[in-house]
Structure 1
Amino acid sequence: MTSPPARSLRPRRPLARLARALGEAVLTGRSGPAHPRPRWLSPRVPGFLGLLPFRTVDLVPIADLVLAFVLFRAVQSMNAGGAELSALTAALPLVLRNRWPLAAWRLAAVLAPLDAVTREQSTDLIYSADVVIMYLLVVYAVAVRCERHITIGVWIISIAGLWIIDLSLEAVGTLFLGGTMVTVAVLLGYNIQARRTAAGRLAEEERRSERALAGQAVLEERARIARELHDVVAHHMSVIAIQAEAVPLKAKGEVRLLEEGLAEIRTLSLAAMTEMRRVLGVLRDADGARDTGPQPGLGRLEELVATARSAGLTVTLSLGGDLLELPTAVSLSAYRIVQESLSNAMRHAPGSTVSIKIGRSGDELNIHVASSAGTRPAAEPATAGRPGHGLIGMRERVSMLGGSLWTGPVGTGFAVTAILPITQDDSAATA
């Protein structure tokens, strides 16, 4: 005798889902956390009540308590039999529905049928208005706070209870009306829950997007600082390397010249460290503070040229036009372009002659740096043909300002020409 297929031994999925929905609605289910109230339902406490331990007032539980008290007193004042039970039926679930909506519904599902059977009605309706109001509010609270399958279980039990009681009391005409009101309350509550859930997810996505944008801004800031550090380190280290190579040759065993050369190397090293600290100062701390140390600009070109001359370059500097009122971003970018050009000359053409011409023409700043062939072999021939980050950094700076850049060999040397638009928008000063 063959055994039946395994799938026939499993409960059908629709029946299993129905059993789960009913079981959690009646016994094991729990309601979810309350959604944040709109501002008009949770106003702030006035300033003169600032000593209270809470900052906002939740109007929903207050309204539930007021309504429960009104219904309790109204039903209790009736002279009909079972008034005490009817008063508790109308009031107690309303008191519980804000904090424990599912427990409030379970209590209402037990008390409402008992009240319908024991209360003496003066009309043909099974349920009085107070019980109807209470039950619809409790079902609405369940639909707003509970999962969908629990809400479906509550709806099924409510409709089944209406059907059983209506048949037992021979009032079939109220089944359609009661079922319609319960269904409307469930659909309205579920729609509110879906909208609040969607709004919460949208807010979370916006927060994630803001965090992602903040992280991207941090990465861009770090990339900018890396470019700045490359300019600083490359220039000063090139000068120090050239000096370290040239000092012994220049001193020729004389202690005084050797000491002067080492002192100059030390001075250059301290200057490099100072400028590195200034660049790193743009990093903000946890409180959002930042170093306000000035960035280098065209006002420090003489220092830059003096450093290059001390490394063995013959540098001529020609400045034209009003260069004092330049925007910070333009002045900083011009300084870095000249700095990188001098560093390249030190690395690839030691002892060369460099001509620097900077002039302002209307709304444009023209920069031209040309170097001749070196008089000594390059200190790093292995990397002479390898593209570095210096030219890339120049192009990024010029592109950021909307300018133009040309670089390439000219005769036996190398030339860099940049045109930077001069605008008063200083927003890119730290870029």
Structure 2
Amino acid sequence: MASPPAQRARLRPVARLGRALTAAVWTGRAGPPPPRPRRLAPRVPGFLSLLPFRTIDLVLVADLVLAFILFRAVQALMRDESLYMATPLDEGEIAFIAVTSSLPLALRDRWPLTAWRLAVVLIPWGIATRGQDLEAAFSADAVIMYLLVVYAVAVRCERHVIIGVWTVSAAALWILGIQSGPNLPGVMLIGIAMVTVTVLFGYNVQARRTAAGRLAEEERRSEQALAGQAVLEERARVARELHDVVAHHMSVIAIQAEAVPLKARGDARMLEEGLGEIRALSLAAMTEMRRVLGVLRDGDGRTDTAPQPSLGRLDELAATARSAGLAVELKLGGDLLELPTAVDLSAYRIVQESLSNAMRHAPGSAVTVKISRSGDELNVHVADNGGDRAAAEAAKAGREKHTGHGLIGMRERAAMLGGSMWAGPAGKGFVVTAILPITEEA
């Protein structure tokens, strides 16, 4: 007697086939139609601008035209063949038989799986209405319609649905071959082969489209990552230059403002000269600040008016960090969609600065970003492992030597919201933890 695992192993193919048949007949859904190239979806001419659509789907138009041709051809054929039938068909029966060969074709572009299910029902019904033998199943109109519908399913549906569609088609053709006369089984085998080739061709087209789409998406993400990295590097450079400008000039101005009154000792001329020097230093500082901030203006001289970043753009931030060599893992918990603007922006900036520090001091490290909401608090935790063993000690030493202007800015952001922040080494890596209160005033 077979063991339970062996029995389950034998039942798995049967269960998979059952799910495939259920998906094909009832539960399956087709994917969205692929975007049409411009040659298959030209724009509507100007004199037809009042139409509710802006492009003409030539594939859909071709399906409708072919469906109409089949409808009229079957009507004409049935009117001629009805002369040789024992019971001539009336116009209603002829119209119904024509619909069985044309309606699924008209629906296959928008609803391919529905069109196939309809074809599976209508073809036998149409044969019964004709009152002929099973050779009517292989009339040219039925073959053209069914193969086109099966191709649409193979191009738009998932693999298990396609397997179910092929299984139902092959089984139906096999049953027709068994119940027919001695001349039809060979024809049925040809029909199964035609359906199989159509399914394989359609699935191959789908696989190629999927691969091309993924490649285009990867190229787009790569370009965005490179652009984001360039922006991050440029903004870091601007921040460093701006810090140097402000720190240097403001320090000198503060010293001059304190020293001039002592030096002048009531002498108006010396006091005036000292104030002039302070004014010159101020103008020089403003000039340099304008030069540094000028890179944040676009080509038309307008300032950057892009919306402030938020936690909703963490994926982009992580993608930029990954392109720089970090292995970033995001772990988000709680409702992060309706945070106050100040909390949302501060949390984003803390994560951004932490990732920037990891890029500078621990290149190639694995970084874990955890953001969770607990009651009225937002917890931000960013930790890295320090990179490889050889670079870990150098990274730690560099961080301890670094003055930490970015860390100061993060602490100020947390303190502004009434929260707290801790940053320091942990093992071979570095950890930044911030707790930001969530208040309506934030």
| TM score, norm. by length of structure 1 | 0.60
Between stretches 241-250 and 52-61, larger displacement belongs to 241-250
In the alignment, does 2:112 pair up with 1:113?
no
Among 153, 176, 179, which residue is 1:168 paired with?
179
Please state how far the C-alpha of 1:104 moved relative to its aligned partner.
0.7
Checking the alignment, whether the CA contact within 8 Å between 1:97 and 1:141 is kept in structure 2 is yes
Checking the alignment, whether the CA contact within 8 Å between 1:25 and 1:151 is kept in structure 2 is yes
User: 1:199 & 1:35 partners in 2: Cα distance?
Assistant: 12
Please state how far the C-alpha of 1:12 moved relative to its aligned partner.
2.5
Checking the alignment, whether the CA contact within 8 Å between 2:100 and 2:123 is kept in structure 1 is yes
Please state how far the C-alpha of 1:231 moved relative to its aligned partner.
4.8
| 1:26/1:123 CA distance change after superposition, 3 Å | closer
Match of 1:188 in 2: 201
Match of 1:19 in 2: 18
3-state SS in 1 of match to 2:36: coil
Using the aligned pairs only, state the percent identity: 69
3-state SS in 2 of match to 1:281: helix
Match of 2:317 in 1: none
Match of 2:227 in 1: 214
Among 114, 129, 134, which residue is 1:103 paired with?
114
Match of 1:150 in 2: 161
Please state how far the C-alpha of 1:46 moved relative to its aligned partner.
2.7
Match of 1:32 in 2: 31
Checking the alignment, whether the CA contact within 8 Å between 2:44 and 2:54 is kept in structure 1 is yes
Please state how far the C-alpha of 1:160 moved relative to its aligned partner.
0.2
Checking the alignment, whether the CA contact within 8 Å between 2:177 and 2:185 is kept in structure 1 is yes
User: 2:121 & 2:133 partners in 1: Cα distance?
Assistant: 23
Name the aligned partner's letter for residue 32 of structure 2. P
In the alignment, does 2:97 pair up with 1:83?
no
Name the aligned partner's letter for residue 163 of structure 1. W
Match of 1:299 in 2: none
Name the aligned partner's letter for residue 142 of structure 1. V
Cα RMSD, aligned residues only: 3.2
Name the aligned partner's letter for residue 200 of structure 2. L
| 1:5/1:168 CA distance change after superposition, 3 Å | closer
Unaligned ranges ≥5, structure 2: 83-88, 304-400, 404-442
Between stretches 36-45 and 242-251, larger displacement belongs to 242-251
Matches within 5 A, 1:328-347: none
Return the structure number with greater helix share: 2
User: 1:290 & 1:11 partners in 2: Cα distance?
Assistant: 71
Checking the alignment, whether the CA contact within 8 Å between 1:166 and 1:175 is kept in structure 2 is yes
Name the aligned partner's letter for residue 212 of structure 2. A
Name the aligned partner's letter for residue 237 of structure 1. M
Please state how far the C-alpha of 1:65 moved relative to its aligned partner.
1.2
3-state SS in 2 of match to 1:36: coil
User: 1:9 & 1:233 partners in 2: Cα distance?
Assistant: 73
Checking the alignment, whether the CA contact within 8 Å between 2:173 and 2:192 is kept in structure 1 is yes
3-state SS in 1 of match to 2:296: coil
1:18-46 C-alpha deviation (Å, 9 max, x unpaired): 11100010011111111111222212223
Please state how far the C-alpha of 1:76 moved relative to its aligned partner.
1.3
In the alignment, does 2:203 pair up with 1:204?
no
Name the aligned partner's letter for residue 41 of structure 1. L
3-state SS in 2 of match to 1:32: coil
User: 1:291 & 1:274 partners in 2: Cα distance?
Assistant: 18
Q: What is the count of residue pairs matched by the alignment?
A: 292
In the alignment, does 2:253 pair up with 1:240?
yes
3-state SS in 2 of match to 1:12: helix
Tell me which structure has the larger Cα radius of gyration: 1
User: 1:216 & 1:51 partners in 2: Cα distance?
Assistant: 46
1:302-346 C-alpha deviation (Å, 9 max, x unpaired): xxxxxxxxxxxxxxxxxxxxxxxxxxxxxxxxxxxxxxxxxxxxx
User: 1:22 & 1:271 partners in 2: Cα distance?
Assistant: 78
Name the aligned partner's letter for residue 206 of structure 1. E
